[in-house]
Structures are given as structure tokens and as C-alpha cells.
Amino acid sequence: MSNFILTNQLHDPEFLEKIEASGFRAVHYPLIETEPVKMTKEGISQLLACDWLLFTSQTAVHAFFQQVTQPLWHQFAVVGTKTATALKEYGYSASFIPSTFSADRFVEEWNAVQPSGSRVGFCKGNLAKPTIEEGLDALVTAVVVYKTTDRPEHIEAINKLCLNEPESTLVFASPSGVKVFQEAGGKIAPDTIVCAIGHVTKQALEEAGLPVHVMPERYTLEDVLLERLQYKE
């Protein structure tokens, strides 16, 4: 049984059971973690003054609704089906979801169909790239609702698995995780199977000199697992 190593924060612990049921040994060594950032009253007011609220991750949804509990009248835009599912936990449905779960595709598809000048409240992480704020044809108010911190202490354990156990699968879900792996001295073996969630993560891996063997069209962990099962060296 080969290892299936997740380096991202995991919102659904039951996914580890799906990995095991697929014939792998599930290993979770997150290289990053997130925690909510307390918003100021002014920041909350600025977001609530917008017509749309935009979330690009489950983490952003939970961080926002942990602090905002009153009923909302807004329209919601999200990136990714998992983000849409998280939003439904609070009783709201997304009115806009891009076909590909990435910020650049969100900007492209939003600008193609939405009227110019809509007021959009962007609930973001502290490491979010300026793609949405600079590219969206809208009046964007961005407020940091969560922060990401590094977890380099797991690198030694990841290296041990990749270098000593055959055909380990190593999954990256964000450029932030790739950055920690690279800076903390992460290593892979020639037979390590590297998986990327998203083309931005794939680009970060390639820039770090790492191969990418699996990248599904849909940017979800479930699709990574399915494509890994189909992958042949």
C-alpha cells in the first residue's frame, strides 16, 4: 500500500477514509494552516455595503460567518463547488460560480457577463494575489478574513516517506504549500507521483523544479484522487 500524502489544510476529515478505501495509506502533513482574522467594525460595514459578497475558499466562508451572524440580502459569488457547499451551510446559495475554479478564470467570466461597476465585497486571505482586485470590472472592497501560516515542521516526515517508501503520492493544493516545501528543504524520489490542484499550483511546482504528474480539470481533492487512480507511470 503506497502513501497518499496531503499537504493542504483538510476541511473534511472523512476524505482520509476515501483515500484508504481507494487502496492508499492516507497521510496528512499540512504545510500551511489558516485561522480567522478578526475584522474591524469598519471592515464588516464596508463588506455589507456591497451588492455582492465573494469567497474564493471554504476557509473564507467560515471565517466570515463566524463573525457576521445577521441575515444577509446580498448576492454571492464563489470559486469552487466546495466553497458553494460551505456557503449553503449558512443558508445561502451562490449566484455566480466560474467554470474553472481559479481567480483568473473568475475574473474572465465575471467581466463577460456582469454589468460594470457592481459593488463586490471580497473576503480574502492575507496571501491572496491581486488578480481579483486588479482584474475585476467592478468596485471591489477587499477585507482580509483569514491568514495563512507556514508549517515547515512536517517536511522531515514528508521527505522520509517520499524517499524511503515506493511510489508515494504527494498532493499540493496551493502555491503557498509549494513555497513551504521548497524553502524547508522538501525532497522527492524519482518514483514520487506529484499532484497539483489548479494550474497556479502546477505553475508553482514547475517553477520550483518539481514534476507534475497529475492535475485534474476540476480543481478538487476528489478529482485528484480519481485521476491518481487512473494514472500510469
Instruction: For 195-210, write each residue's pLDDT tens digit.
Output: 999 999 999 999 999 9
For residue 168 the three cell numbers come to 508515494
pLDDT score of 233? 59
Walk me through the domains of the chain, giving residue ranges and CATH numbers.
3-31+151-230 (3.40.50.10090), 34-148 (3.40.50.10090)
For residue 188 the three cell numbers come to 522527492
**Do residues 97 and 78 lie in contact, with contact meaning Cβ atoms separated by under 8 Å?**
yes
pLDDT score of 102? 84
Question: Phi-psi category of 119—alpha, beta or left, where left has phi over 0 and alpha has psi -120 to 50?
Answer: beta
Q: Give dist(CA 36, CA 147) in Å, integer.
A: 6
Q: What is the DSSP track for 144-205? A: EEEEEEE-GGGHHHHHHHHHHSTT-EEEE-SHHHHHHHHHTT----TT-EEEESSHHHHHHH
pTM for this structure? 0.88
Q: Give dist(CA 73, CA 98) in Å, integer.
A: 22
